Amino acid sequence: HQVLRVVPQSNEELQKVQELQELEHLQLDFWLAPSRLGLPVDIRVPFRSLQAVKAHLEATGVSYSIMIEDVQALLDEEQTEMLRSSRQRSVDTNTFNYEAYHTIDEIYNFMDLLVAENPNLVSKLEIGRSTENRPLYVLKFSTGGTNRPAIWIDTGIHSREWVTQASGVWFAKKIVQDHANNEGVASILETMDIFLEIVTNPDGFAYTHTTNRMWRKTRSRHAGTICVGVDPNRNWDAGFGDAGASSNSCSETYHGPYPNSEPEVKSIVDFVKSHGNIKAFVSIHSYSQLLLYPYGYTTTPAPDEQELHEISAKAVAALSSLYGTKYTYGSIITTIYRASGSTVDWTYNQGIKYSFTFELRDTGRYGFLLPAKQIVPTAQETWLALKVIMEHARDNIY
């Protein structure tokens, strides 16, 4: 490998470098993404792509310097390739490996298997398409009825938070198992439906696999902006654009040009509005081990704050009972930071009283790179907290 440094001096040069981001087969790893003229862009280039990258840059006279030369990593790469090729496609959800991180294709395949195995309980809805035209899939778990009161759960809205998509996969299987064994959430499914969107930001997720493991946002490009991507958790119409989000497209908390500019967000907004009967909405992130409720955009307490706080206390106690994992809970703005345009502020203002955000394991030792062996324990303990919220919604009709 080598790490190349490019300092784009003109818009043409900047564009040439940005083009490299699209060439997934080169397997480039951008340590510093292209943003402004004069700011360095650092790219880790695998050995086999070096010639192509240097040719691409040299063809337009973009100068680069070699920052790090590294030969040893060749061996590591071969090993990774071997592991990758040994992954086999699952043929059913019982042999699926829940203790590993999966690609988007593997997760989409899992969904189809789950539906095929449980056609009377599970269906797959396409609620829209991402910027890069990937389908946005929601699993619906229902034992019948028409437009029953429902619970929504989403994972993976921030693509680098890999334990969340992995937990979503586990939740899907768990719902099916509980129903089959007539335990756990089986009783909730008698009167309510559950909607689960596992890969809420598929473009970002694909990007974390191919190019930049630390990518958070969507992959949209808006007119007049230099950088790619909008923070999907700042793009909702609740305090949109207020303090707690950035108007700079290169920022990780860029709110986007206007509310719901991102199809990943708009599709959920449209779904929620047209469904009209969602009673609990849970959006799942990592990391920090927090259970949060509105608001993030204002210090004014939510009218239902006391009830939400009590539910949180119960949910966190249930979570902790399994492995002793400690969670803190409270409103977004007092517990982590001011954040405007966030998901659950919007859902709460729509009248979905039981709106919560989770930040899953850990507290910083591994952060986004949570070891795969922690996926199942994380999902198991989180599920206990989710059940508290779902049961409360079931028992407190509004």
Which residues are identified as catalytic? Answer: 359
For residues 374 and 99, what is the distance between their CA atoms, to the nearest angstrom? 8
Rounded to whole angstroms, the Cα distance separating 392 from 214 reads 35
For another protein, the closer of residues 96 and 162 by Cβ is 162
- The span from the CA of 249 to the CA of 328, in Å, is 31
Rounded Cα gap, residues 308 and 129, in angstroms: 33
Q: How far is the CB of 117 from another protein (least distance, A)?
A: 27
CA distance 219 to 207: 8
Site for another protein in 341-360 (CB under 8 A): none
**252 belongs to the binding site for another protein (CB under 8 A):** yes
Which member of 23, 52, 186, 214 binds another protein (CB under 8 A)? 214
Which of 55, 59, 72, 120 is the binder for another protein (CB under 8 A)? 72
Determine, following the binding rule CB under 8 A, whether residue 86 of this chain makes contact with another protein.
no
Residue 252 CB, shortest distance to another protein, in Å, is: 4
Distances (CA, A) of 126 to 84, 129, 197: 29, 8, 10
Q: Which stretch binds another protein (CB under 8 A): 52-60, 112-120, 248-256, 268-276?
A: 248-256
Q: Decide: is 226 part of the binding site for another protein (CB under 8 A).
A: no
Query: How many angstroms separate the CA atoms of 167 and 321, rounded?
Result: 18
CB of 292 closer than 8 Å to CB of 339: no
Could you give the count of Cα atoms lying within 13 Å of 275 in the half-sphere of its Cβ? 27
Strands (DSSP E) contained in 288-387 are 290-293, 328-331, 354-360
- Sole binder of another protein in the list 187, 330, 380, 384 (CB under 8 A): 330
Dump the DSSP string for 136-147.
Answer: EEEEEE--S-SS
Q: Would you say 79 or 277 has its CB closer to another protein?
A: 79
Sheet order of strands, 41-45 included:
29-32, 41-45, 2-6, 64-69
**Among 178, 197, 231, 262, which residue sits at the site for another protein (rule: CB under 8 A)?**
231
The interface with another protein within residues 110-169 (CB under 8 A) comprises 162
* Binding window for another protein (CB under 8 A); candidates: 20-28, 208-216, 296-304, 386-394: 208-216
Decide if residue 371 touches another protein (CB under 8 A): yes
Separation of alpha carbons 262 and 152, rounded Å: 19
**Which of residues 278 and 333 has its CB atom nearest to another protein in the complex?**
333
User: Which amino acid is residue 335, in one-letter code?
Assistant: T
Q: Provide the 10 A C-beta neighbour count for residue 365.
A: 10
- Closest contact distance (angstroms) between CB of 256 and another protein is 15
Take residue 306 and report the two structure tokens written for it: 């006391």
Closest to another protein by CB, 369 vs 384, is 369
CB atoms within 10 A of CB 77: 14
Q: Does 82 bind another protein (CB under 8 A)?
A: no
**22 touches another protein by CB under 8 A:** no
Q: How many residues bind another protein (CB under 8 A)?
A: 47
Q: Which of 23, 42, 125, 301 contacts another protein by CB under 8 A?
A: 42
Q: Which residues bind another protein (CB under 8 A)?
A: 1, 3, 31-32, 38-40, 42, 44, 68, 70, 72-73, 76, 100-101, 162, 208-209, 213-214, 216, 231, 246, 251-253, 288, 326, 328-330, 334-337, 363-372, 374
